[in-house]
Amino acid sequence: MPWDEAATMPTLTSSATGTLASEQTAARTPSGPGVRQYEHGEAWVVVATGEYDMGSITPLREALHTAAKQYAKVVLDASAVTFADSTFLNVLLLTHQSGTLRVVAPSPQVRRICEITGVDSVLEIRRTVEEAASS
């Protein structure tokens, strides 16, 4: 299909939510990114899972931004992040500048990108949520 025909193709949306049908499918994909949150003592814990890049970072960015405005200490459990790029690092650094951010048990991919860029010397990295929330 020529590129100029693609622009005229209809967009499928859900009548109930108005979101793109492809976005709904992506949200249900097991390998897609996910964010869970909970309070642990006086800290707010955000658990990130899946892959994070420019196209998938929004839920994590919003969760960390909101948490940093409401809690003195934010803990990011990054143990289940399977891919992270500079967009992910940027969100971490912005959250760190907004308040106290601790990164817990970064996956090998997250640890590697932090080491390569030197971000591991800026962020506080802990082994467990308990350790991060209490320090």
Whether residue 22 has pLDDT greater than 80: no
Percentage, residues of the chain above pLDDT 70: 77
- pTM for the complete prediction? 0.76
What are the tens digits of pLDDT across the range 40-56?
999 999 999 999 999 99
**Are 45 and 39 within 8 A, CB to CB?**
yes
What are the tens digits of pLDDT across the range 65-110?
999 999 999 999 999 999 999 999 999 999 999 989 999 999 999 9
Calpha distance 132→105 (Å, rounded): 10
